[in-house]
Structure 1
């Protein structure tokens, strides 16, 4: 399916604000700027939020997801009704046995426990409606090598928000969740230390536009979307959009089936 697109940003509907958890770099920053372009008062949470340029019109708020005290005390007063975007992330490519205890703890706090505890506070404070846009990863279902911790945390993120739907619907009938599983994005800071061809990866600004077009057009309580990069010659890195969940890939390629012998 071709990605949705619009010549002008679609209206944000009844929503007045956006809160972006991890909106200072990469896809998070692109989503925050696109929210502002849609007329939303946009609060950006992150460790480097204070360094955002003043002319971008974003409302910075310091949040260190790896620091439990920061998660407990940061303000959760946001413009309502509100889009809440869970984007914060970091990548780790390393065998589990070579991963340090500190790396396990920090990545788990950044990708899962920190955002979950923050969301717990924000959702309890927000009257609604709330539209939660969750940026997980195709790594939540794809077969990967030396990425077990990262993939496991992304799968936990996706599973959590799927099962959060009934709770959010019970809290307010107009609450919604959009779960986005993107493939490789051209964000060098995210893939630190890896020798990758970023020209064959997806532009985060284009992916942000697709995410917002999907979210603003969503009418059902829950939508899950895959945004994967094309590998076709001449179209490398072009976003390809499909809807619905994907079954987890097995750890190894299935062995080829030999044809039956003829006697």
Structure 2
């Protein structure tokens, strides 16, 4: 897909990877980049067009799709983490994580698929995680929601192929963002991840493995299940 001249919607574009993706889209010549966020005032980059959008609110998503009729690239970046272990976390927190990480992208894609079709197919990017494949006990709910999001990415890729829509699944390990600020681990710069995602969109690649951790995890999928569930 030719990013130059495209019109993009990036959810969660006010911070972290979303902010990097939106800014780099502008740098690569996108005609318009809509920043879909709950609070438009939180968008600091004046090159972006803030749009009030809550991916967990079907009516909010519907209104956005009705008004943003020129969109040719949708980036499902908005995410939520921190609920905790899947079996012991507060169920309200688990539901909130799943509403954002799984049902949010489902609603956005359902609403914008007809818009993309009218523009020749365009592209969808789903921001996933290495935890789409690995299970960490302390982040069991998040990992499960990202595993479900990986499955939805594969499903909508098949469903949208007939209208010519490129669907890209982007996986990465820890990024240096607010979400991981309290973790003492090696982190990849979000600018690097954003560049790799947009490179993939530009050449029509369907999957991004942004770092060595993620590439290693992908190789484990053909092995024993225990390899996908480290003890910590």
Is the shorter-chain TM-score for this pair beyond 0.5, marking a shared fold?
Answer: yes
> Does residue 153 of structure 2 align to residue 161 of structure 1?
yes
1:148-171: per-residue Cα shift (whole Å, max 9, x none)? Answer: 211111011111111212321212
Correspondence for 1:213 = 199
User: Could you tell me whether the CA contact under 8 Å between 1:91 and 1:191 is conserved in 2?
Assistant: no
What is the TM-score when the length of structure 1 is the normalising length?
Answer: 0.75
Separation in 1 of the partners of 2:48 and 2:10?
A: 10
Q: Judging by fraction of residues, say which structure has more helix.
A: 2
1:149 counterpart SS class: helix
Larger radius of gyration: 1
Unaligned runs of 5+ in 1: 1-9, 231-239, 255-263
Contact 1:63–1:74 (CA under 8 A) maintained in structure 2? yes
Q: How much has 1:202 moved relative to structure 2?
A: 0.5
Structure 2 CA distance for partners of 1:249 and 1:142, relative to 1, 3 Å: farther
2:207 equivalent in structure 1: 224
Pairwise mapping of residues 1-263 of structure 1 onto structure 2 (< 5 A)?
12=3, 16-40=6-30, 41-53=32-44, 55=46, 57-78=47-68, 80=70, 82-92=72-82, 94-126=84-116, 127-128=118-119, 129-171=121-163, 173=164, 175-187=165-177, 189-191=178-180, 194-197=182-185, 200-218=186-204, 223-229=206-212, 247=221, 252-253=226-227
Cα distance between partner residues in 2 of 1:92 and 1:178: 25
The count of residues paired between Structure 1 and Structure 2 equals 224
The ranges of structure 1 where at least 4 consecutive aligned residues each deviate by more than 6 angstroms after the TM superposition are: none
Deviates more, 1:64-73 or 1:132-141: 64-73
Aligned-partner Cα distance in 2 for 1:113–1:167: 17
Q: Which runs of 5+ in 2 are unaligned?
A: none
